Amino acid sequence: MDQEEWRLSQSGRRKQDFGPKVNFKKQKLRVGNFSGLPNVSQVIWERMKQHTVLEGFLPVEQCNLDYHSERGSSIDPHFDDSWLWGERLVSLNLLSDTVFTMTSDDVSSLQLMPVLQEGSELNSTSSDGNNASDMNHTQNPGYSKSQAKHVPYCDVEVAIRLPRRSLVVLYGDARYKWKHAIHRENIEHRRVCSTFRELSKEFSLGGKKEKLGEMLVNIALSFQGKPI
């Protein structure tokens, strides 16, 4: 990556973009100078699509972001666009560990479960019912339903540790209900991530812009790209 030019981005980040030129507010895009994803990403794509959750994943955009504590790098809580980009967002965390922080503006009720940690007494910690940390009464008979409590989603913050060289996939509620962020205090060393995005239904097979989507996929998967 460092053999290619990094451009300054927001909040102390640097970036490399491989994808079409997009105006999200006006919902317009053009191919522009997009020449595909970088060659080095082909082997990554071949490996990631072996996972069931990424079956049929066809990335048409890759964004490399460079974070460093000396620049105070971070990214604010946000949703990724859903007009152009499809359900699955895939991010590869490189060089150092960090923490993904998930928050929601939803004021509806979320049930929190006590989680029994191995070798310890019962601890009351938050757990989203849709993520891997969720435990029901069968899985964790060490608590009763009376110990559960309900709070608004907007009062909950979920911290997800991302080890170096880990891959995270956001989809479902994690994509559309929960915002994701990287806080400044969770960048202790240089951290690089590559985020891959697929097309929405509008640009996929059977969608109104299927032809344009097919062209973007063909360009992307040529793996001959340079940053734009």
Task: Kindly report, residue by residue over 183-192, the tens digit of the pLDDT.
Answer: 999 999 999 9
- Flag whether pLDDT at 126 surpasses 60: no
Mean pLDDT (whole number) for 154-183: 97
Residue 63 Cα distances to 84, 168, 175, angstroms:
15, 15, 17
CA angle, 22 then 23 then 28, to 5° = 80
Span 60-101, pLDDT tens digits: 999 999 999 999 999 999 999 999 999 999 999 999 999 999
Would the pLDDT of 125 be above 60?
A: no
Tokens of 226: 């340079």
Predicted confidence at residue 8, as pLDDT, reads 96
Return the percentage of the chain with pLDDT > 70, whole number: 86
- pLDDT at residue 147 in the model: 74
Amino acid sitting at position 101: T
Angstrom distance (rounded) from CA 20 to CA 34: 5
pTM greater than 0.75 (yes/no): yes
Q: Which of 44-53, 73-82, 134-143, 181-190 has the lowest mean pLDDT?
A: 134-143
Name which of 32, 56, 87 is nearest 199 in CA terms: 87
Map out the domains of the chain with their CATH numbers. Answer: 7-74+81-98+165-173+190-220 (2.60.120.590)
Q: Bigger pLDDT: 134 or 100?
A: 100
Instruction: List the structure tokens of 227.
Output: 């940053």
Name the token pair of 9: 């981005």
